[in-house]
Structure 1
Amino acid sequence: MKTSVVRPWIASLALAAVLSGCPQQEPPKEDPVQTPVARHSYVSFAALGTPTPLQVAGRLSIPTGAQGKVPAVLIAHGSGGVDTRGSYHAQALLAAGIATLEIDMWAARGLSGGAEGRPRAVAETLPDAWGALKYLSAHPSIDASRIGIMGFSWGGLMSMLSATRKYAAGAEPGQRFVAHAPFYPVCWAYNRVPSYEFGELTGSPIFIQAGEADQYDDPDSCQRLVDSLSPADRESVSLTMYPGATHGWDRLEPAIRITDPYSHTGRGGEVDIAPSPETAETSRRAVVDFFRKRFGLSP
């Protein structure tokens, strides 16, 4: 739930997918920019369960030199759209032998992002997650039994809701995310705002990372949420809080101030988003360790 700039390469691809109206993507076009640890492709896939057909675009990155099928993580952006956070975390996941799929939910819907340019509720974008899960599960380089999801703010909320049995029913039968890693997922809203029900979890582990100076929440909002869960659900959830960290600490561009009606535990108002390179690096290492452990990869 923050303002940022949509990355042009992914926005143009998503728009092209919408205009084409094709239910299936063309064979992936190889990205001419290669990294030492990954090969990149532009892809698109159908969202599952939307009222009208919707093609969602993304960048799929596969670690090079991997033997056999590899695990994968879906990366979901915040309210402002795709920005540098996705690639920042993707680089570390790829280096650990984990594929990534960074998706653009806004361009496919013709949205501009920010508090005024996003869907009304996070649940409206869960079909994008289920479509991505279906796409990754069928990919010949991906291990369908080891697919996780992470996201920032809006994408963090998606990561949380996709861990509930209620919303996980939207996935293809037999498919589910096996690990969830939300970043600053606006903890106060769960079980208070309609369509943000959080409970009766699937049992897949959930690793929440949040900042004590996040102006969407009170400093103890996330801990109170975890404490409110049933004993069985609490077993699935771990939480790390970062002292002094604001919302979007891993957005490493200059600090900004935004306005959002969901901030300040629903009272609305201004939110400071300040970069913290130290916290960004700590949280990046932590999320890679979380997925590596869940996927059974060696350190």
Structure 2
Amino acid sequence: MKKSVVRPWIASLSLAAVLSGCPQQEEPPKADPVQTPVARHSYVSFAALGTPTPLQVAGRLSVPTNAQGKVPAVVIAHGSGGVDTRGSFHAQALHEAGIATLEIDMWAARGLSGGAEGRPRAVAETLPDAWGALKYLSAHPSIDASRIGIMGFSWGGLMSMLSATRKYAAGAEPGQRFVAHAPFYPVCWAYNHVPSYEFGELTGSPIFIQAGEADQYDDPDSCQRLVDSLSPADRANVSLTVYPGATHGWDRLEPAIQITDPYSHTGKGGQVDIAPSPETAETSRRAMVDFFRRSFGL
């Protein structure tokens, strides 16, 4: 059964204030100045590339309003829970830097509800969504096809890393590839240990991994050990920042939750704490924007 989900970038909120009992001498409040939106948003769909049956993936395309000519873009891939506020949190900072975004919804395309029980069996099954997004953006008149990157959270972080390998990059349209990859907490222990999570023989595009020291999917040094295990040529293209005390999903700024996942605790399974850290969220967001700015030559 398909589960109906209200996406945070589709829902709209309005606020109303009621003023009463004001003295006659008091001046009415001044209206807030009208603010120009940072980006123009549109809801789009595109075909995934290489799926066994045709699949249309929905997404929100946002192009900076102050763009002059074609601009670089970043595909944003969600985590196991589906589209949430993390995408818009990071997208806004990219828009302010003059970078377009395409937030994709992989679960709605498949009628999935998300979570450990409502996701595909392997991350590689959703790479066709990334290649379809890349193809869509490459043909868009507002996007610079030579400057398209990808970022993602957890599941989406795994996607952004696997898409940097020559093996999986072969699924893209000929001549197309992501030029920068920015995974957030991408479950580092699984690479080169779990089938279909091979990480090596990279395309040469830069990769910026951000991980949490207290992430209960990994050991505190899982990501560093992964980087150290790469060939010198591949290692030269990978950078890593580990945030002390940060849990999995530190930039999910809603109240803390606890989930259960068979991939947690380096594959032993069990409960995972996801606690918000506004300070780490802001630091990691700035670092991500700086990474893409450098990668795009901005």
User: What is the CA-CA distance between 1:65 and the residue it aligns to?
Assistant: 1.8
Contact 1:14 1:108 in 2 (8 A): no
Contact 1:5 1:81 in 2 (8 A): no
Which aligned pairs between 1:96-115 and structure 2 lie closer than 5 A?
A: 96-115=97-116
Task: State the Cα deviation string for residues 188-217 of structure 1 (Å, max 9, x = none).
Answer: 000000000000000000000000000000
Structure 1 157/20 Cα, relative in aligned 2: closer, same or farther at 3 Å?
farther
Structure 1 residue ranges (4+ consecutive) displaced by more than 2 angstroms after TM superposition: 1-6, 8-35
Contact 1:71 1:147 in 2 (8 A): yes
CA RMSD between the two structures: 10.2
Structure 1 129/28 Cα, relative in aligned 2: closer, same or farther at 3 Å?
farther
Contact 1:69 1:141 in 2 (8 A): yes
Contact 2:2 2:113 in 1 (8 A): no
Contact 1:249 1:275 in 2 (8 A): yes
Contact 1:3 1:79 in 2 (8 A): no
**How much identity, in percent, do the aligned residues show?**
94
User: What is the CA-CA distance between 1:277 and the residue it aligns to?
Assistant: 0.1
Greater helix fraction, Structure 1 or Structure 2: 1
Contact 1:210 1:242 in 2 (8 A): yes
* Alignment match, 1:2: 2
Contact 2:2 2:112 in 1 (8 A): no
Taking the aligned partners of 1:74 and 1:230, their CA distance within structure 2 comes to 27
Contact 2:210 2:242 in 1 (8 A): yes
Structure 1 2/273 Cα, relative in aligned 2: closer, same or farther at 3 Å?
farther
Taking the aligned partners of 1:286 and 1:276, their CA distance within structure 2 comes to 15
Taking the aligned partners of 2:173 and 2:80, their CA distance within structure 1 comes to 26
User: What is the CA-CA distance between 1:32 and the residue it aligns to?
Assistant: 19
Taking the aligned partners of 2:28 and 2:63, their CA distance within structure 1 comes to 15
Contact 1:78 1:155 in 2 (8 A): yes
Contact 2:94 2:289 in 1 (8 A): yes
* Alignment match, 1:37: 38
Contact 2:72 2:144 in 1 (8 A): yes
Structure 1 99/24 Cα, relative in aligned 2: closer, same or farther at 3 Å?
farther
Task: State the Cα deviation string for residues 94-149 of structure 1 (Å, max 9, x = none).
Answer: 00000000000000100000000000000000000000000000000000000000
* Alignment match, 1:13: 13
Structure 1 144/36 Cα, relative in aligned 2: closer, same or farther at 3 Å?
same
Q: Report the secondary structure of 1:174's partner residue.
A: coil
Task: State the Cα deviation string for residues 61-94 of structure 1 (Å, max 9, x = none).
Answer: 0001211100000000000000000000000000
Taking the aligned partners of 1:29 and 1:15, their CA distance within structure 2 comes to 17
User: What is the CA-CA distance between 1:11 and the residue it aligns to?
Assistant: 10
Taking the aligned partners of 2:18 and 2:43, their CA distance within structure 1 comes to 15
Q: Report the secondary structure of 1:151's partner residue.
A: strand
Q: Report the secondary structure of 2:16's partner residue.
A: helix
Q: Report the secondary structure of 2:241's partner residue.
A: strand
Task: State the Cα deviation string for residues 266-291 of structure 1 (Å, max 9, x = none).
Answer: 00000000000000000000000000
Alignment size in residue pairs: 297
| TM-score (norm. length: structure 1) | 0.90
Contact 2:8 2:85 in 1 (8 A): no
Runs of at least 5 residues in structure 2 that lack an aligned partner in the other structure: none
Q: Report the secondary structure of 1:170's partner residue.
A: coil
Runs of at least 5 residues in structure 1 that lack an aligned partner in the other structure: none
Larger radius of gyration: 2
Structure 1 236/22 Cα, relative in aligned 2: closer, same or farther at 3 Å?
farther
Contact 1:215 1:272 in 2 (8 A): yes
User: What is the CA-CA distance between 1:13 and the residue it aligns to?
Assistant: 19
Between 264-273 and 8-17, the greater mean CA deviation after superposition: 8-17
Structure 1 240/8 Cα, relative in aligned 2: closer, same or farther at 3 Å?
closer
Taking the aligned partners of 2:93 and 2:229, their CA distance within structure 1 comes to 33
